Amino acid sequence: MPRRGPWPENPVIYQVYPRSFLDTTGTGEGDLPGVTRQLDYIAGLGVDGIWLSPFYPSPFCDGGYDIADHCAVDRRFGTLDDFDALVARAHDLDLRVMIDLVLNHTSDTHDWFAKSLAREEGFEDVYIWADPCKDGSPPSNWLSFFGEAAWRWHPQRAQYCLHKFLPCQPCLNHYNDRVHERLNRITRFWRDRGVDGFRYDAVTSFFYDPGFRDNPPAAEAEAALIPGPSNNPYTFQEHIHDVLPNECAAFAETLREMAGPDAYLLGEINNGPRSVEVTCKFTGPDRLDAGYAIDLPERGPSTEVLRDLLTRLEDAEGWTWWLNSHDQKRAVSSFGDGGAADAKMLAAFLCALPGPLLLFQGEELGQPQAELEKVELTDPYDLMYWPDSVGRNGARAPMAWDDTQPACGFSKAVPWLPMARAEQGGVAQQEADPASVLAFYRDALARRRDLGLAEATMELEDAPDACIRFRLRVGTLVVQVAANMSGAPQDLAPRQGAKRILQTKPPAPGSNLPPRSAAWWLLEKG
């Protein structure tokens, strides 16, 4: 199957979580034919490609990121023929297809793990095995992202196996060339099926100190910047031995060789306070095209956060902007009231940022975070840190396509997670409303494309508290952007001649930017 042509330098990529997108079989879970059916809708947003979250065979202990077979489709989602049909239709619509590749670990139900556990020839060291200390304790004090000991004892081998996530997700041994040979075959398998790019899960976690030295305690300031609730012990350590970003960044060259020069490669950067610097090391010629980190979604949109990021980024390429994903509480609920006005304000801010953009399904509707009871949760992290961290299941609530029951057009069955209906309804309702969040996203993305803002340079300006103001320059074109996230009107418009080209609310009397609103102006000169 022919692959899609070159990607734009700074694409807009729409993330699809297949289990929550559209169910065509009446199981209450989304599937690949459901994605294919709605590709016209996705293309109509004005995005350049899609990112498909895992659809591989999996016991689904960690939302599909515990893969049991990297070269197949889980039966709940369909077949390889369904995948091929999805890729073909996407290419017909000029959409590129990126898929999740989880190369840090597998499920412990993977055939490789069974062979490694049995010390079968060629598989002995596919995973990271280590002998116990003399007292029987694990070889180091390392903790998983879930806050538990990162070592699991396996009596069959009388050894510990390393896992950086759940115990059922053993880490692959990236110091083993045979592992890379197998990963290369996986990469080529999907490239040969027409895949245009890969999103590498946990790409900063591949390498570690082979001597298994203990991590030191994290200083208070460092701990505060490590993503996760403050009661997660993972934040108590400085992760300098279990995570080696320099070695991982160098390995990005191998990932590029595997994928080929025309594939778009995006990395998930999990390095807390060093995320910007690590992203810069991962991206560039012969490495990844882009990386994304949790800074903006975790800390929230503000002048302070943007100034910090821009100062650290300098002229680096590949920094990707985003507010929503399958791992993060919905931004309209985190930084807003969950309503349409705040959804538009965040859209105006995000769509103006130069560089690659990520959108998560439902974001364009203003879909809020699903408010779930503990008995409704299925995600292990949400369950472990209830009620302090409930971001993942709530963000993954199914997409609303209309207002029919029982599941707003997502399924004819009871959905696998409760719905989270946006203020202005599902896709059908918002398609009919020119003032909807959906219409606003389409307009903002079209203007971003027409004005060339993805390639702009950005100049941050001073602004009152809870406000953001910056200028974008593309050649001789200058665009002023302002967001008023406060509860009072603010005078944030440029003083010289300017044309307002995008607004989330009409100007306020005696001011130019009402509370909880944003606008773009086209300047006559810089």
**Encoded amino acid at 465, one letter:** D
Beta strands across the sheet bearing 159-162: 129-130, 159-162, 151-154
Compute the C-alpha angle 116/121/126, nearest 5°: 40
- Residues near 413 by beta carbon (within 8 Å), at least 6 away in sequence: 23, 26, 27, 28, 406, 407
Consecutive H or E run containing 182: helix 177-192
Q: Each residue of 413-428: b (16+ CB within 10 Å) or e?
A: eebbbbbbbbbbbbbe
Strand 96-101 versus strand 197-200 pairing type: parallel
**Encoded amino acid at 428, one letter:** A
Q: Each residue of 387-411: b (16+ CB within 10 Å) or e?
A: eebbbbbbbbbbbbbeeeeebbbbb
Catalytic site residue from 23, 196, 201, 382 = 201
CA dihedral 164, 170, 175, 181 (to 10 degrees): -130
Distance CA 227, CA 214 (A): 20
Catalytic site residue from 124, 253, 298, 461 = 253
The answer to whether 201 is a known catalytic residue is: yes
Task: Dump the DSSP string for 53-66.
Answer: PP-SS---SSTT-S
Distance CA 481, CA 484 (A): 10
Residue given tokens 């020119």 in the structure block: 434
Compute the C-alpha angle 421/369/351, nearest 5°: 90
Residue given tokens 């509707």 in the structure block: 365
Q: Which tokens in the block code for residue 437?
A: 């969040």
The answer to whether 253 is a known catalytic residue is: yes
Residues catalogued as catalytic: 201, 253
